[in-house]
Each structure stands twice: as structure tokens, then as C-alpha cells.
Amino acid sequence: MKNLLKILFAAACAILLVTCSKSDRFGDDMSVAGLKYRQPLRIKGKPVMVTLPFDVHYLSSLVSMDPDARCGDPPYYRIINEGPGNGTVVGKSFIHFDFCFNIDNYVYGNDKSSVNGKYFMYIVAANRDSLYISVAGKVILGRLPYMPSYVIDYFKDPFEILGGTGRFKGATGSGMTDDYDSSLDPRTYHHWVGTITMVKGKKDECIH
């Protein structure tokens, strides 16, 4: 009988130890989970915004140059330019320009309020997401000392990022253009440098 009681007592102690061990481990898991939950970047449903370099190159060609009522009477014309390129965040992509141009004083630009209308500029990334942009300024005849000898005119003006679709929804940013036209071909060479603030993706968004 005494031996039976000893066996039962030993079994009860073993069960108690196992139960306590499981409870302790459960408590540790809850503590770690709680710490993870309190980290701001891991709060479910709240996007994390990051500011990244924005450095793009494009080579565009003239699609059309026509009088347009929205731009006004000549010397104002509506210009559409577009072409391929590459850069950070957007990767291999395509740019579309749609703006008004004064052929007398070389002033160009588009209306920010028309981003969702006919007259705007945008970049289409490889995954088909669009990034809306606005740029305005003046084309200057000649070239700067650091530019190639074949440059016939250039424009260095501020640009602004106005949001977009997909991963570019709500994006903001700005920077400067460094563009020129060449005597070697009818295309326009674009180089834009600035920053973009957008929702952080699953991996580094600086794609070349």
C-alpha cells in the first residue's frame, strides 16, 4: 500500500511539474508577442511611410503639337511627349507628358488640378502602377558648360509628385529636372533627381 501511495505521489508531482513548465512557456510567448505588438512598424492595418531617393532617366519623343482650347490661342500649343526610361522606385518604366507650351517665350507647364483629367503627366512602372507628376518652367536656348556640345536647349525646373495608383497611391515628393534637346536626334533627354515619400513595400523600393 505504501509503495502504491509513493507511486501515485510521484506521478502527481510529475504532472504538476509538466503543467507549470507549459504555463511558464506560455507566459513567455505572450510577453514576447506583446512586445512585438507594441512596435509601431508592426501595427496591423497602419501603413509605414518611407522617403526614398528618386532618380530617373527618360528619352522621350514628340507625339503631337497642336492648338488646343484649354491652352489658349497660338502661340500656345498642347504638347504630348512620351518615351521609355529607368530609375529608382519605378524601375524600367514609361513617361507620358501632356502640357501647354508657348512657342514665343518657351514657357511650358500643366495644371495640377487636372491630374485626373486629360492634361497631366505620369510615369507607368513595370507593374502598371502609375505615378502622377507635375512640372513647369522654361526652355532655355543654348547649353551649360557641363553639357555635351550637341545640346541645343535645356530646362532645369522643379517637379512635384502628386500621388498615383497601386503602391504609389498617396505618394508625395519633389526634385529638379535636368533635361535637354539634342541636334543629333529629335528626342528629349530627361534626368530627374529628388525624393519620394510612399508606403513601404515588402522589399527595398530602390530598383534600377
Whether 34 shows a pLDDT value over 70: the answer reads: no
Mean local confidence (pLDDT), 78-83: 95
Reported as a pLDDT band with limits 50, 70 and 90, residue 41 is: very low
- Annotate 82-106 with DSSP letters as a single string: EEEEEETTT-SEEEEEEEEEETTT-
pLDDT at 175: 98
- Compute the distance between CA of residue 35 and CA of residue 22 in angstroms, rounded to an integer: 20
* pLDDT attached to residue 33: 32
Radius of gyration for the chain, computed over Cα atoms and rounded to the nearest angstrom: 30
Per-residue pLDDT band for 170 (boundaries 50, 70, 90) equals very high
Residue 187, pLDDT above cutoff 80: yes
Q: 9-18, 32-41, 130-139 — which one is most confidently predicted on average?
A: 130-139
Reply yes or no on whether the pLDDT at 207 is more than 70. Answer: no
- With a cut of 80, say whether residue 206 has pLDDT above it: no
Reported as a pLDDT band with limits 50, 70 and 90, residue 72 is confident
What is residue 28's predicted lDDT score, i.e. its pLDDT?
Answer: 31
Q: What is the pLDDT of residues 142-161, one digit of tens each?
A: 999 999 999 999 999 999 99
DSSP at 46: -
Higher-confidence position of 29 and 173? 173
- Domain 49-199 top-level CATH class: mainly beta
37 pLDDT higher than 50: no
* CA dist., res. 173 & res. 123, Å (int): 14
Average pLDDT over residues 32-38: 30
**Which tens digit of pLDDT belongs to each residue from 105-134?**
999 987 665 655 555 899 999 899 999 999
Q: Which three cell numbers stand for residue 190?
A: 530627361
Q: Where are the domains of the chain?
A: 2-42, 49-199
Instruction: Render the burial of 9-18: b for 16+ CB within 10 Å, e for the rest.
Output: eeeeeeeeee
Pick from 58, 135, 50: nearest CA to 91:
58
pLDDT of residue 17: 43
With left for phi above 0 and alpha for psi between -120 and 50, is residue 109 left, alpha or beta? left
Average pLDDT score over the chain: 79
Q: How far is residue 95's CA from residue 83's CA, in Å, rounded to a whole number?
A: 6
Which three cell numbers, joined as nine digits, stand for 151? Answer: 545640346
Residue by residue, what is the 3-state secondary structure of 134-178? EECEECEECCCCCCCCCEEEEECCEEEEEEECHHHCCCEEEEEEC
pLDDT(48) > 70:
yes
